[in-house]
Amino acid sequence: MSISIGLSLLSLLVLGAPTALFASLGIVTLLGIPLQERTISRATLITTLTGLVAALGILAVMLTTGSRFVPIDLGNWVDVESLHFHFHVKFVFDRLSVPFVILTFLLCGTISAFTSRYLHREPGFTRFFLLYSMFLLGMVVSTAAGTIEILFSGWELVGLSSAMLVAYFLERANPAINGLRVWTVYRVSDAAFLVAAIALHHWAGEGDFARMVGEGTWPSGHSLLTPQQALWVGPLLIIAAAGKSALIPFSGWLPRAMEGPTPSSAVFYGSLSVHLGAFLLLRISPVLEMSVFLSGSVVILGLATAAFASMASRVQTDIKSSLAFASLSQVGVIIAEIGFGLRYIALVHMLGHACLRTLQLLRAPSFLRDHMEMENALGARLTQYQGFWEMVLPQTLRDRLYRFALERGYLDVALDEYIVSPLVGLLQQCDRWERRWTEFLDGDADLESDHVPVVTDSLEEWQ
């Protein structure tokens, strides 16, 4: 009895610490109270440390008691009997979520310590940490989620904070453009996720994972959905995961996301955020297991992404893009492992990869120094590193592959040309129709917005 109370307390600590941090930073910022750098970084460090210790506590209890499944039920928050609908707030600590929560706290804690020095005297210091705490909360909520709606809300927090941190340097155009791009891709994947969640509700009246993956503890659950239903929900969830984890065809956003300060790039796109899609697939792996089609497509998607990304990584001429694609290639492999049903391997792979890549990205500004050190050790300038495939392939094919890799698989262009631009064209056509219609009604061909200057003048230029 006391063990279960202790477990609940620990879990509440795990969830409560990031919530408290986000709430307090958010409220204080909202009230416009300026905060000291030291206060913010101390608060963040203490929070992550508390969370980490609590999560380790849960792990210890689970190991000693042999319990492998600790649900934390906060009851129904919305309950509409007549429609058989209820919104159930439930968190689950099991073999999947506990390691992931620990990883989240560990990396976030380390990175926040790093950032508090790295961003010293930066005007956006508070904003960074506010978004960062939002991200932390999102990660913890989505990893520990026990229902699909809770996972979705955490997922949204992660998405929002990622996009805002990509656009962290608001004063330049590129971060804003790329942030918007990331956000758009996230919206697409969120839409798929949301439809899946609604479909699930429709069939089951609830979004509990227990319903999808069975009552058994992860990874040994068996889905209670019918194969028919699985075939509906599965692809939607795969799209959701593909958007979040930058799998083909969404891969283009990942290198573009390297716009924020180095540590945020490291923790988001090197480690945690980019693995969230894989985490989702891991969570619902019993559903994938039900159909060869689903698991087959996951394998193909993963392998194709991995092959493409490892090629792209080799030709990138800047360190961050190169690491972004490297990271993506491993995410692809992890996704493929999930498709093959190698859940433990995928989990271990994910944890290891997150740590390794974070370290590499944090050290990215040291690249020149590392490169020189390596040259000095080898006693010569580094020559081209010939990969196996480059040696066997004929010249023309090799050149073609190089182009394919340098152009990042033409993925962005393809999305722009075949999806975005027809859509934009359609909307612009609608705009023209609407305008014609208002002009007809108004009897006047002049709109107020026509006179808004395209380029506004800045005062400093006044002479």
Residues 133-152 that bind other proteins (CB under 8 A): none
Task: Give every CB contact of residue 253 below 8 A, 6+ residues apart in sequence.
Answer: 178, 181, 182, 185, 246
Taking the least distance from each CB to other proteins, the nearer of 131 and 240 is 131
Residue 127 in contact with other proteins, rule: CB under 8 A: no
Among 278, 282, 274, residue whose Cα is nearest residue 341: 282
Burial per residue of 261-279, b for 16 or more beta-carbon CB atoms within 10 angstroms, e otherwise: bbbbbbbbbbbbbbbbbbb
Instruction: Tell me how far apart the alpha carbons of residues 301 and 255 are, in angstroms, rounded to a whole number.
Output: 19
Stretch that binds other proteins, among 59-67, 194-202, 240-248, 377-385 (CB under 8 A): 377-385
**Of residues 205-264, those binding other proteins (CB under 8 A):** 255-263
Q: Please identify which residue in 6, 26, 216, 387 interacts with other proteins, judged by CB under 8 A.
A: 387
Q: Check whether the bond before 422 is cis (ω within 30° of 0).
A: no
Q: Please identify which residue in 39, 220, 226, 366 interacts with other proteins, judged by CB under 8 A.
A: 366
Residue 25 in contact with other proteins, rule: CB under 8 A: no
Stretch that binds other proteins, among 151-159, 235-243, 288-296, 400-408 (CB under 8 A): 400-408
Q: Are 337 and 301 in contact (CB under 8 A)?
A: no
Residue 185 in contact with other proteins, rule: CB under 8 A: no
Q: What six digits make up the tokens of 26?
A: 């958010």
Taking the least distance from each CB to other proteins, the nearer of 296 and 365 is 365
Instruction: Tell me how far apart the alpha carbons of residues 336 and 316 are, in angstroms, rounded to a whole number.
Output: 24
Residue 344 in contact with other proteins, rule: CB under 8 A: no
**Of residues 280-319, those binding other proteins (CB under 8 A):** 306-307, 310, 313-319
# binding residues, other proteins (CB under 8 A): 113
**Of residues 76-115, those binding other proteins (CB under 8 A):** 106, 110-111, 113-115
Phi, psi of 179 (to 5 degrees): -60, -40
For tokens 């960062």, name the residue: 132
Instruction: Tell me how far apart the alpha carbons of residues 309 and 332 are, in angstroms, rounded to a whole number.
Output: 8
Q: Diameter of the chain by CA atoms? A: 80
Nearest distance, CB of residue 374 and other proteins, angstroms: 5
Stretch that binds other proteins, among 22-30, 172-180, 185-193, 441-449 (CB under 8 A): 172-180
Nearest distance, CB of residue 431 and other proteins, angstroms: 13
Phi, psi of 90 (to 5 degrees): -145, 135
Residue 44 in contact with other proteins, rule: CB under 8 A: no
Phi, psi of 57 (to 5 degrees): -60, -45
Taking the least distance from each CB to other proteins, the nearer of 370 and 442 is 370
Q: Please identify which residue in 73, 215, 375, 431 interacts with other proteins, judged by CB under 8 A.
A: 375
Stretch that binds other proteins, among 23-31, 227-235, 321-329, 433-441 (CB under 8 A): 321-329
Residue 194 in contact with other proteins, rule: CB under 8 A: no
Residue 451 in contact with other proteins, rule: CB under 8 A: no
Angle at 154 between CA 294 and CA 80, to 5 degrees: 85
Nearest distance, CB of residue 285 and other proteins, angstroms: 17
